[in-house]
């Protein structure tokens, strides 16, 4: 459910309401109680905020390979794995 911003044309009171998209728009100011004086403010919305280590690092990123590690399925039995060549 989105948060909508409203402003009263009479007293200038600005407020936010958390409501369903199907809910009717607010018409009455909760501060001055004037009817049909509230208009919906068209905002830019909110940006995406990434916090923490993130899903990419924890779920999708390949772990860094140790240069001394030998690939299990590699035919080479030393550190010259063909997968490591770029």
Return the HEC string of 29-46: CCCCCCCCCEEEECCCCC
Over its length of 86 residues, how does the chain's per-residue pLDDT go in tens digits?
788 899 999 999 999 988 888 999 899 999 999 889 999 988 666 667 666 666 665 555 565 555 555 566 666 666 666 655 54
The ranges assigned to domains in the chain are: 3-41
CA distances to 51, 57, 62, 63 from 54, in Å: 7, 6, 14, 15
pTM for the structure as a whole: 0.49
Please name the helix (run of DSSP H) or strand (run of DSSP E) that holds residue 3, with its range, or none.
strand 3-8
């Amino acid at each position: 459910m989105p948060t909508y911003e409203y402003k009263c044309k009479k007293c200038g009171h600005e407020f936010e309401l958390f409501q369903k998209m199907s809910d009717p728009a607010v018409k009455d100011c909760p501060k001055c109680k004037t009817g049909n004086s509230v208009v919906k403010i068209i905002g830019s919305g909110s940006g995406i905020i990434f916090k923490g280590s993130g899903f990419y690092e924890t779920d999708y990123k390949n772990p860094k390979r140790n240069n001394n590690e030998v690939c299990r399925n590699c035919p080479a039995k030393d550190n010259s794995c063909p997968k490591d060549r770029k």
